[in-house]
């Protein structure tokens, strides 16, 4: 029995018998020959079948067949294959056995398979609901068909490589992987953008981030941890970079001196991830996305928020926000400045005002109006927030009260700090945003397996 061969592995085989399976991409049904472009999860190949349109006869009126025995059986099989190919619809799943032959004239990989047998495993409806020019919302309605496209397939192989490289970095440095609960008794950061769900006789909340539990691991003595998992934000935004459910990449480390230690870890992780992606998929990314993957140099540029605002202002843009934060256009402007001055796609914006940071961010020694925190921008868009956390229980309680929070509602969280915890910090980073900006895609919906937003819960 000949086992199925992935299309990407055909070029390494010698000419001879082979079995391939996949989806019908196109059929060219000519009079004397038929061609099928077959696509599987690894690539596409050309199949060829010498067409037989009718059995040879000696008397057409009487229908007398000119062949007998094995020759007749072979001709009938060829005729059945020809008719089956003519009836194939785009997307039908088939298995083909035949003879692999290398032929430089074949544009698709320089090889083809001369068909011997054809098995239609699953027929597709002839009229497909989406086309290459379908809009994004329509494509999302039929995501399983949209994902058959080679570009979409590549996105998730890139994602796999990227996450594997990050995990390799963590594991080789003795980080511990954790899985934190996504059902919580209280908000993980604030009650804004919070999903409330029924939970037996009471209420629960979907976790906005694993923040509190990452910090609990520091109190537990884990030292260095990471998690890749879902996070939920009840955000009514319809921008290209927001989702109500997304994959968050989180890490937290103990025994730090400042947020500079967190930034150093952060940039080393990204270098590891981008190096792996470029090595394995760089050529395909260039071919399908016309993007040259650049492994960022270290250290990444670092600009304090106040200075970044001045730079943006000098470039002719006045940030209109009433608070102390940067807006999306400001992020694009400062990223453009960094690209021009440093030739870098990344920039850390540091030292955010305490007025716009969570209560658990450590404030500057001698200047409580600023925090030991940062946002990381990539190609003009924020992908991550990181900080040194406040580990002193009395300061933590005071900062919570300063934010108008009731320490009683933070009881379990504050308990983490009553029995000794080292200085620590970490970050959370959106996976989809990284992929979107890496591939220069216009929306995170393009790089999310199944997107969830304010108006989308299906498929």
* 432 assigned to a ligand binding site: yes
Q: Are the beta carbons of 353 and 369 closer than 8 angstroms?
A: yes
Three-state secondary structure string covering 347-395:
EEEECCEHHHCCCCECEECCEEEEECEEEEEECCEEEEEEEEECCCHHH
d(CA 333, CA 308) in angstroms, rounded, equals 9
Residue 103: CB atoms within 10 Å: 12
* 456 assigned to a ligand binding site: no
* 400 assigned to a ligand binding site: no
Residue 450: CB atoms within 10 Å: 14
Tokens for 57, please give them: 């006869």
- Tell the burial category of 296 from Cβ atoms under 10 Å away from its Cβ (0-12, 13-18, 19+): middle
* 385 assigned to a ligand binding site: yes
- Give just the sign of the alpha carbon dihedral 442, 448, 453, 459: positive
425: preceding bond cis by omega (within 30 degrees): no
Task: Using DSSP bridges, classify how beta strands 16-29 and 93-102 pair: parallel, antiparallel or unpaired.
Answer: antiparallel
* 227 assigned to a ligand binding site: no
Q: Which residues pair with 367 in a beta bridge?
A: 364
Concatenated DSSP letters of 116-175? EEEEEEEPPPSS-S--TT--HHHHHHTHHHHTTSHHHHHHHHHHHHHHHHHHHHHHHTT-
| Annotated binding residues for ATP | 382, 430-433
| Annotated binding residues | 189, 233, 382, 385, 389, 430-433
| Annotated binding residues for L-aspartate | 189, 233, 385, 389
């Amino acid at each position: 029995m000949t086992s199925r061969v992935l299309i990407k592995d055909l070029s390494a085989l010698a000419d001879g018998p082979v079995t391939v399976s996949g989806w019908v991409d196109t059929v060219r049904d000519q009079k004397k020959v038929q061609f099928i472009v077959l696509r599987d999860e690894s690539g596409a190949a050309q199949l060829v079948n010498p067409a037989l349109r009718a059995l040879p006869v000696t008397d057409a009126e009487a229908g007398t067949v000119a062949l007998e025995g094995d020759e007749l059986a072979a001709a009938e099989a060829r005729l059945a294959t020809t008719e089956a190919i003519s009836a194939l619809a785009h997307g039908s799943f088939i298995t083909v056995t035949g003879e692999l032959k290398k032929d430089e004239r074949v544009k698709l990989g320089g090889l083809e398979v001369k068909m011997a047998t054809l098995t239609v495993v699953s027929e597709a409806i002839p009229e497909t609901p989406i086309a290459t020019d379908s809009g994004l919302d329509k494509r999302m309605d039929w995501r399983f068909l949209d994902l058959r496209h080679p570009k979409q397939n590549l996105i998730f192989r890139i994602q796999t490589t990227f996450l594997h490289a990050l995990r390799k970095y963590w594991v080789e440095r003795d980080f511990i992987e954790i899985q934190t609960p996504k059902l919580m008794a209280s908000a993980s950061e604030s009650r804004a953008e919070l999903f409330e769900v029924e939970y037996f006789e009471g209420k629960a909340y979907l976790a906005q981030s694993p923040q509190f539990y990452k910090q609990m691991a520091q109190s537990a003595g884990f030292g260095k941890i990471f998690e890749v998992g879902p996070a939920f934000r009840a955000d009514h935004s319809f921008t290209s970079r927001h989702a109500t459910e997304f994959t968050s990449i989180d890490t937290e480390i103990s025994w730090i001196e400042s947020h500079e230690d967190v930034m150093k870890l952060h940039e080393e992780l990204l270098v590891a991830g981008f190096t792996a992606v470029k090595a394995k998929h760089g050529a395909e990314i260039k071919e399908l996305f016309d993007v040259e993957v650049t492994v960022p140099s270290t250290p990444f540029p670092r600009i304090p928020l106040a200075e970044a605002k001045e730079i943006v202002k000098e470039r002719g843009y006045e940030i209109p926000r009433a608070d102390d934060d940067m807006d999306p256009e400001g992020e694009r402007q400062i990223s453009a400045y960094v690209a021009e001055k440093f030739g870098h796609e990344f920039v850390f914006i540091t030292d955010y005002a305490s007025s716009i940071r969570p209560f658990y961010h450590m404030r500057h020694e001698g200047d409580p109006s600023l925090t030991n925190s940062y946002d990381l921008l990539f190609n003009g868009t924020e992908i991550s927030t990181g900080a040194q956390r406040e580990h002193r229980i009395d300061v933590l309680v005071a900062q919570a009260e300063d934010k108008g929070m009731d320490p009683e509602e933070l009881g379990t969280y504050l308990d983490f700090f009553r029995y000794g915890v080292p200085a620590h910090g970490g970050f959370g980073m959106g996976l989809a945003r990284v992929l979107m900006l890496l591939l220069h895609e216009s929306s995170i919906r393009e790089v999310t397996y199944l997107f969830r937003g304010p108006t989308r819960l299906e498929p």
